[in-house]
Amino acid sequence: MIINTKILRSKVSERFNGDEDIYSELTCYLKKVLGISLADLYSSEDIKLNKDQSANLDNFFKQKLKKIPLDYILKESSFFGRNFYIDERVLIPRCETELIIQYFKENKILGKKNILDAGTGSGCIAISIAYLDDNYTLYASDKSSSALEVAAINIERHKLNNIFLTQMHWLCGFQKDAFDIVISNPPYIEEYDAHLKDLSHEPIEALVSSDNGLGDIKEICSNAFEVLKYEGMLVLEHGYNQSEEVLRILQTTGLKFKETIKDHQGHHRITIATK
């Protein structure tokens, strides 16, 4: 197969109505999978692909026609400046969640601390936190054994020895006063939310929660008081419009509201509470 910019744009035009986002994803795919950069495309009239390269290019178009996100096609996603293995067993990391790591950095939360990442998924939060201080002892829990398999791949890739995986439903099974910090990015989307149609390839159990999206948040807040040490901290990501509901939930648990972190759109996205 011969390719050049004209041929590639023609393929995108025929199959995706000239969608520029698809073309951008295609150029990223070409670089990461086939080793062909934009500079290569523009500096050469034609590039000849071998059989395997042609098959990989066809595979890209087949998967994009199924609306599979590029991160799942590449089996890779970036989070806080590092690459992580991901597949459809776990959520694609979001840039809003990076604000949790930034909060730790800016507030210089360091030293010997027991930290729980509840609902770890790919492990990107726990791993990113682990890089900040090797004095941390991190526990990454998830009820999904499939998700823990992905997290294990990433822990091995990043060669970290201060993270321990455990299969657990949220905070159940942990001892009283076990943690200095509990972090969680739980499911918080309502069951019939219109946004779900665009997330069809991501695991539904990691997206949707009962009780108008607040069911898992209520369970985490309720149990956090027990598993946190005195003056321990809960760091909880939630929906862009849920901060007031989360505050009301906290008021029933004994935890004390500390502050919220706004996302890049100015929404209150992460709530911090203490025991």
In tens, the pLDDT along 119-157 reads 999 999 999 999 999 999 999 999 999 999 999 999 999
Mean pLDDT of 179-193: 96
- 42: confidence class by pLDDT, cuts 50, 70, 90: confident
Show contacts of 196-201: CB within 8 Å, 24+ apart: 200/67, 201/67, 201/68, 201/69, 201/72, 201/88
Which range among 6-15, 62-71, 102-111 shows the weakest confidence by mean pLDDT?
6-15
Please tell me the distance from the alpha carbon of residue 26 to that of residue 42, in angstroms, as a whole number: 15
pLDDT at 44 over 80: no
pLDDT at 178 over 80: yes
Percentage of the chain exceeding pLDDT 90? 91
Range of 38-42, 92-96, 192-196 with top mean pLDDT: 92-96
pLDDT at 177 over 90: yes
pLDDT at 27 over 90: yes
Q: What is the mean pLDDT of the chain?
A: 95
> 221: closest CA among 191, 254, 243, 189?
254
- 18: confidence class by pLDDT, cuts 50, 70, 90: confident
Listed in sequence order, the residues at least 6 apart from 243 whose beta carbon sits closer than 8 Å to its beta carbon are 260, 267, 268, 269, 271
pTM of the entire predicted model: 0.94
